[in-house]
């Protein structure tokens, strides 16, 4: 019957004896000696960290190759989601709108929302923020569906007026910031 690792020297001996075999496998898998050596090093570190889960007398090489193979495919999946940008070409083209505009817009919205009549604010929040249907909102408020629709329409109109929103282009950054960001992304 096999025992878990109790003699660290026995584990170390088996580990060192298996390195040439796992390195050959790593080279065939990675396609280059440098990447293979990195894989072997990572495998040895992981194996050393998890040596308590290894059972002496079982196949050390198979255990190490399993670790190496899993690590290799995890790195390949990760690499498939990453973009190589060592010369910074993609990074230079990235542009982000300043965060303070969103915070200021949210403050303006909260102020405008607080200035709405209570019945309009309540209807707007129940439908817009809480996700209730017009019918459910009418039931909650104890009035007709048409009344709820009217309150929401008036609330939206007042918010647009208070916030100075006339078209979809009024959402997001102002024209000046948008032009700078767009120029940075194109240029």
Over residues 159-177, the pLDDT tens digits come to 989 988 877 665 555 555 5
Could you report the per-residue pLDDT of 90-102, keeping only the tens digit for each? 667 666 656 666 6
Could you report the per-residue pLDDT of 37-46, keeping only the tens digit for each? 999 999 999 9
Kindly tell me if the per-residue pLDDT of 152 is higher than 50: yes
pLDDT at position 169 is: 62
Structure tokens at 130: 């809480």
Could you report the per-residue pLDDT of 67-114, keeping only the tens digit for each? 999 999 888 888 777 667 777 776 676 666 566 666 777 888 889 888
pLDDT at position 2 is: 47
Domains (ranges, CATH) in the chain? 9-81+103-167 (1.20.140.160)
Sign of CA dihedral 44, 48, 50, 53: positive
Q: Where is pLDDT greater, at 170 or 65?
A: 65
- In angstroms, what CA-CA distances link 106 with 113, 114, 117, 129? 10, 12, 19, 14
Mean pLDDT, the chain, integer: 81
Return all residues near 123 (Cβ < 8 A) that are at least 6 apart.
Answer: 137, 141, 148, 151, 152, 155
Q: Where is pLDDT greater, at 180 or 40?
A: 40
């Amino acid at each position: 019957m096999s025992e878990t690792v109790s003699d660290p020297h026995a584990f170390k001996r088996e580990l060192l004896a298996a390195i040439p075999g796992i390195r050959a496998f790593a080279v065939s898998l990675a396609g280059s000696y440098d990447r293979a050596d990195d894989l072997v090093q990572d495998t040895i570190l992981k194996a050393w960290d998890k040596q308590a889960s290894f059972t002496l007398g079982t196949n050390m090489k198979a255990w190490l190759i399993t670790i190496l193979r899993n690590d290799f495919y995890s790195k390949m999946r990760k690499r498939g989601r990453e973009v190589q940008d060592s010369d910074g070409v993609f990074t230079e083209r990235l542009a982000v709108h300043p965060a303070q505009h969103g915070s200021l817009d949210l403050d303006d919205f909260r102020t405008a929302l607080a200035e709405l009549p209570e019945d309009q604010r309540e209807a707007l929040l129940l439908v817009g923020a809480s996700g209730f249907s017009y019918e459910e909102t009418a039931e909650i408020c104890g009035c007709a569906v048409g009344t709820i629709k009217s309150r929401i329409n008036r609330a939206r109109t007042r918010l647009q007026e208070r916030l100075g929103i006339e078209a979809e282009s009024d959402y997001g950054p102002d024209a000046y910031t948008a032009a700078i960001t767009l120029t940075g992304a194109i240029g």
